[in-house]
Amino acid sequence: MYKEEEGQGSVEIILLIGLILVIVILTGNYIFNISNSINNSLKQLIEKGRDEILLKV
């Protein structure tokens, strides 16, 4: 009986580690998407400003 409880504890730890990995991957993906969105917005803003300055010249 005692050995079975140790095995169950190991399985629970493995499941917790797997859950933490999934959460970290999903969070990283979410942050990466936000970062790309910010970069695209800044790129468009810089290009628009550059084009307006070039049109004035």
For residue 22, the enclosing domain spans 1-57
How much is the pTM? Answer: 0.66
Q: Report whether pLDDT(5) > 70.
A: no
Total domains in the chain come to 1
pLDDT at 56: 86
- Answer positive or negative: Cα dihedral of 14, 15, 19, 20: negative
pLDDT band at 9; cut points 50, 70, 90 = confident
Q: Could you give the CA distance from residue 47 to residue 41 in angstroms, rounded to a whole number?
A: 10
